[in-house]
Structures are given as structure tokens and as C-alpha cells.
Structure 1
Amino acid sequence: MRAETLEALNAERAARRAAVLVTDIADGAQRLVTAAAIAADPLAPELRRALASGRSGLIEADGRQLFLTVQVPPVRLVVVGAVHISQALVPMAASLGLAVTVIDPRTAFASPERFPGVDLVAAWPDAALSGPVPVLDRYCALAALTHDPKIDDPALAAALRAGCFYIGALGSRKTHAARLARLAEAGLSEAETARIRAPIGLDIGAVSPPEIAIAVLAQVVQALRRPETAA
């Protein structure tokens, strides 16, 4: 690999941006395709599929064998609300290799006893999600689960502005309609707030906290692996 290619790849990694290294098996020629450049690339469909799967592998294009080395940032799940659903959701998400953070300013809920070994932030979302190093980006999913507008709304607004690949919120359709009105007053457009999955989770008839957690996690995986299904 040429030094300039490695330098460019490391820059994408450091910035938590996806990229694909395309290697021609016949002659070893390499080129780096960043996520921003995929749309204009002749291999765009293949590159998108590779990024969605997160897996490197061989493809054939124009009679040549190419190896696609996929660089995808580790996926984060930010859970807003240290509630019963979160207690079920966190270990399931961790078992899939997701890096999980739980945010809740209510220290009676956000306690190490209820969430052992979890990255737990007992702070208001607008404080927890701001700072010199971005917490949210396009490789983050955010699930807002408190039912409290003072906690959920700032987190949802931050996730929308950061372009998170998945944004979900607990609540009925009536609750969500009121939420949309508040977010509009906060300056978010209808096109932006249309990205919020609410009521959260795939419609599997979930009732209990563990069932709701399964529905939420399934929807997160769907948004990650099949982005064409995104609302």
C-alpha cells in the first residue's frame, strides 16, 4: 500500500468515516474510495453493499477480480433513559458487538447497580452529547426511551443534526405528534423529524420490556444492514 493511501485511510478511520480500499488482484493496483465519493464511483452498487454488510471480500467487475477491504467505524448505540427497557436492551446490544452508552440525568435510575459494566452518563443529554469530541455521528444509533420531553427532545434533536443512521423514540402516535410539534418549534424541519422511528421498534406485538428491547434492536440492525428500508 502506498504511503499516501495509508495516510488517507488512517485519516478516515480517525474521523469515524467509512471507506473502501479497492485492490485489483491481477496487478495489485489500489485506490481508496471514501464514503463521500461512493455515489460517483463506477462500483457504487457493490461498494454500498459492502459497506452495508461491513464485510470485505472479492467481487468481479469488467472481467477483473477486485478485493474490497471495508473500513467501517465501530457502531455505537446511545440509549437515552436508564429504564427497564434499557436494562434488557443493553446486554442484547453488547452481544452484537455494539458499543453502548446509557444517558440519564436521574441518578436513581442511572446507577452502576442497575447497569453494571456499562458506559453510564448521569447527565442531561444536551451536556452529555456536546463537547470537543462528537459523541454522535452517522455510525451511531440513538434510542430515546424516557417519555420525558426534557430528556428525550434534546437527544433527538442532537441525533438528527448529527445524521445518526437510526433514531427511535418511545411513545404512542399521539405522544409523537406532540413531540414533532415541539421539535418543529425548536427549528427542525418536517423532513428532518420524519427520520424518527416512533413508536419505536419493529411491529412484532411487543408488550414486556424484553420484547420491546428485541423490537428496538431488530429495527436498529435493519437500519444498519438494510438502509434502503429507512423511513
Structure 2
Amino acid sequence: MELPVLEALNAERAARRACVLVTEMDGGRQRLVRSVDVAADPLATELAEVLRTGRSTMLSLGNAKIFLTAHVPAPRLVLTGAVHISQALAPMARIAGLDVTIIDPRTAFATSERFPDVTVLPQWPDVVLPQIGLDPFTAFAALTHDPKIDDPGLTAALAAGCFYIGALGSRRTHATRLERLAGQGISRETLSRIRAPIGLDIGAATPAEIAVSILAEIVGALRQRNVPREKAA
């Protein structure tokens, strides 16, 4: 691999941006296609499918063979709320292959004892989220019922284009939430991306059952998502 291509690839991976390495098997010529450039590429359809699935593939174009190597950031889950649902959801999500981060400024709840093997940040979301960053390969779930904790996270998740955004609460609670967020200047179209009441409708009642419904909805969103369209740097 030529140094400029390697440097560009490393830069995209460090920034958690998806890209595809295109390799011509006859001669080994390579080029890197960033997700923001996919639509304008001659292989747009094939590249979009590789990014959607995260699976590398070999193409046969006439007598030429081209290998598309997918470089897609690992999916992760960020939760606001070190609550009972989070205690059940975190280990399930890790088994499903998601990196999990829990944010809650209430230090009595946000402890490593309650959440072993999970990154727990006992800070306010508006302080810590700019540090860890959200992106189109992040799922976000607001689980506290406390607007002071959940709203900043929801606002950040919407701005970052997270592939999944969910919020705990009844339809009445969510209607109030939408009015509150709309009052901050967020459009109704953007707010419609919030899934609430959170989780698939499976009649879940216990924290563990609600966690199952949330994780199932996240996996569905992950596998059915469109190619993320990050803005060009």
C-alpha cells in the first residue's frame, strides 16, 4: 500500500469515518473512497452496499477483478442513565458486539460496581459528550426520565446523526419532550428520528425485558441503516 493511501486510511479510521479501499487485483493499484465521496464514484452502488453491510467483497468487471475492503467503525452504544434498564442492557449490548458507555452525573448510581466491564462516566452529558464524540455509527438511548440529563444527550445525538436514537417514557412524556426540544430550535422533522416509547413493542414489563426490546430495535436500525453521509472535512 502506498504511503498516501495508508495515511488517508488511518486518518479516516481515527476519525471514525467509514471508507472503502478499492484494490485492482491486476497490478495492485489502490485508492481510498471516503463515505462522503461514494455517490460520485463510478462504483457508487457497490461501494454503498459494502458500507451498508460492512462486508468486503470481490467484484468482476469484465476481465478485471476489484476487491472492495470495507473499513467501518465498530458500532457503539451510549446511554444516559445508570439505571436498572442500563444494568440489563449493557451486558447484552456487549455480547451483541457494541462498545458501551454510560453517562450519569449521579455518582451514587454511576459506579463500576453496578456496571462492571463497562465505561461509566459520572459527568453531565453536555460536558462529556463533546469529549467522547458521537457519530453515525453510535446508538444513543436516554433512560433517566430527567430532562437535565437526557435532553443534552438527545440534542447531541440528533446533531451527530446517530444511527439510532431512543428515549424512555410514555407517549405523553415524549410529547412534552418534543415540545421542549422544539423550543430549542430543533425541527419537527429532526425530532421525528427519536424512537419513543423506546424499544420494540413486545409487551416488555421488567427492566430486562425492556432492555431486550431496546437492543432488538438497535440491531434492526444498525442492519437496515443507509450509508452514513458525513460532511466533507
Q: Cα gap change, 1:207/1:63 in structure 2, threshold over 3 Å: closer, same or farther?
A: farther
Choose between structure 1 and 2 for higher RCO, CA contacts under 8 A separated by at least 6 residues: 2
Which runs of 5 or more residues in structure 2 are unaligned? 227-233
Give, in whole Å, the separation in 1 of the partners of 2:10 and 2:71: 10
Residues 38-53 of structure 1 correspond to what in structure 2 (within 5 A)?
38-53=38-53
Q: Cα gap change, 1:67/1:150 in structure 2, threshold over 3 Å: closer, same or farther?
A: same
Runs of 4+ with >4 A deviation: none
Give, in whole Å, the separation in 1 of the partners of 2:164 and 2:156: 12
**Which residue is equivalent to 2:9?**
9
The alpha-carbon deviation at position 141 of structure 1 amounts to: 1.0
Residues 120-199 of structure 1 correspond to what in structure 2 (within 5 A)?
120-131=120-131, 134-199=132-197
The alpha-carbon deviation at position 130 of structure 1 amounts to: 2.5
**For 1:42, what is the secondary structure of its paired residue?**
coil
Give, in whole Å, the separation in 2 of the partners of 1:117 and 1:226: 29
The alpha-carbon deviation at position 214 of structure 1 amounts to: 1.4
Q: Does 1:67 align with 2:94?
A: no
Residue 219 of structure 1 is aligned with which of 217, 220, 224? Answer: 217
**Which residue is equivalent to 1:88?**
88
**For 1:154, what is the secondary structure of its paired residue?**
helix
Paired residues, number: 226
Q: Cα gap change, 1:63/1:227 in structure 2, threshold over 3 Å: closer, same or farther?
A: farther
What is the CA deviation profile of residues 99-138 of structure 1, one whole-angstrom value per residue up to 9, with x for unaligned ones?
110011112221222111211011111112134xx42112
What is the CA deviation profile of residues 29-59 of structure 1, one whole-angstrom value per residue up to 9, with x for unaligned ones?
2221101001112222222221122222223
Give, in whole Å, the separation in 2 of the partners of 1:35 and 1:153: 29
Give, in whole Å, the separation in 1 of the partners of 2:62 and 2:186: 45
TM normalised by structure 2 equals 0.91
Q: Cα gap change, 1:66/1:117 in structure 2, threshold over 3 Å: closer, same or farther?
A: same
Give, in whole Å, the separation in 1 of the partners of 2:164 and 2:146: 20
**For 1:157, what is the secondary structure of its paired residue?**
helix
Which runs of 5 or more residues in structure 1 are unaligned? none
What is the CA deviation profile of residues 60-81 of structure 1, one whole-angstrom value per residue up to 9, with x for unaligned ones?
3455322111111222210111
What is the CA deviation profile of residues 4-24 of structure 1, one whole-angstrom value per residue up to 9, with x for unaligned ones?
111111111121111000112
**Which residue is equivalent to 1:24?**
24
**Which residue is equivalent to 1:77?**
77
What is the CA deviation profile of residues 144-180 of structure 1, one whole-angstrom value per residue up to 9, with x for unaligned ones?
1111111111110011112211111111111111111
Give, in whole Å, the separation in 2 of the partners of 1:199 and 1:62: 50
**Which residue is equivalent to 2:34?**
34
Give, in whole Å, the separation in 1 of the partners of 2:174 and 2:13: 36
Aligned-residue identity in percent: 62
